[in-house]
Amino acid sequence: MSPTPPPLRIGILGCANIARQFSRDVAPSREAQVVAVASRNAETAAVFAAAQGIARHHGSYEALLADEGVDAIYLPLPNSLHAEWAIKAAQAGKHVLCEKPLALNRREAQAMFDAASAAKVMLLEAYPYYFQPQTRDMLALLAEGAIGEVRSAQASFGFVLANAQGNIRMNPELGGGALLDAGSYALSAIRLVMGCAPQRVTADASWADSGVDISTMATLHYADGRRAQLSCAMDTANHRHLLVTGSKGTLDSEYLNHTSDVAGTHPYGYLPSRLRVRRGIANSVPFELIRSATGSGFRFAAEAFAKVVREGDFDAIGRAAQASLDNAATLEAIALSARSGSAVEVSA
């Protein structure tokens, strides 16, 4: 038997609540291990490390990047800081698992991938649902032609923003707003099933006093005549839904980040995530419920990242990078369309 490979040693750049959830969910893994955490405040880092059982803590981000016992960085900082610290991490020789959205625009995203390429490290955008077994099963259904040719997609994600006062999602300087927060999820799901970026977009939004969008809706127009629709909001009851229509059937999913087998029993409140397929064009054809393995999307993402790093699978990273660049360009175009009230071409 071949020896078990050592786990990918991950350092967390920042102590936000999402970093706490990531650390907690990755802790049981044998393939990835959180070994260090950093904050701009040494006491904050020490308290976080003690609470999460993390071996080392640093009082600056730079100190974490200099830690030779760290292979990769998990980057959950505010959206406006992703590009700066992903580039610095790459230059320090660290692989980077970066929270969504990867960047504020396509220019930033390209600079991040250029830095990773120059340093010969891997950069991956972290949508937890993307690494769920349910997403794998959905893509397998599409690949086998379960619904024929994909003709259109509709994706939505919304929630009520609690304690909006002081929340970074309400701050335009930190990359706040519904589009970059929830809309990036919906767009990533659309890109996943449509297989490419749209040619142009039209969008409309409602705006908060701070200047961020509270809700945005967009229509995506593709070069081959297909269309998709995106909806996101920070003032609606929590919901996620992806509907994919094909020439021979229909597929729908909740594409949740974290999943469980049964509602009401998971210690962290994770719920079952529905995935259904109708293999036929008539409404008399019943939907088939697809059952997939469940678990934390954070853990699935960390383990998937550990695998591509261990195997040096730059081809897989390249495919993911193209999707991230497409999404960054599309998000930028949607935001511009919502501001201008006009259709906007998506940059190549």
Q: What is the reported pLDDT for 164?
A: 82
Dmax (CA) for the chain in angstroms is 62
Classify burial at 190, counting beta carbons within 10 Å of its beta carbon; exposed 0-12, middle 13-18, buried 19 or more.
buried
Mean pLDDT, contiguous 10-residue spans, the chain (348 residues):
86 96 98 98 97 97 98 97 98 98 97 98 97 98 98 98 87 96 98 98 97 98 98 97 98 98 94 97 97 98 98 96 98 98 94
Q: What is the reported pLDDT for 2?
A: 65
Q: What is the reported pLDDT for 259?
A: 98
pTM over 0.85: yes
**Residue 152 contacts by C-beta under 8 Å, 6 or more apart in sequence?**
226, 227, 228, 229, 244, 245
Specify the 3-state DSSP secondary structure of 206.
Answer: strand
Q: What is the reported pLDDT for 307?
A: 97
Provide the annotated active-site residues.
100
Report the C-alpha gap between 330 and 202 in whole angstroms.
11
Q: What is the reported pLDDT for 348?
A: 73
Q: For residue 251, give both structure tokens.
A: 């597929």
Q: What is the reported pLDDT for 165?
A: 82
Q: What is the reported pLDDT for 105?
A: 96
Q: What is the reported pLDDT for 1?
A: 63
Classify burial at 172, counting beta carbons within 10 Å of its beta carbon; exposed 0-12, middle 13-18, buried 19 or more.
middle
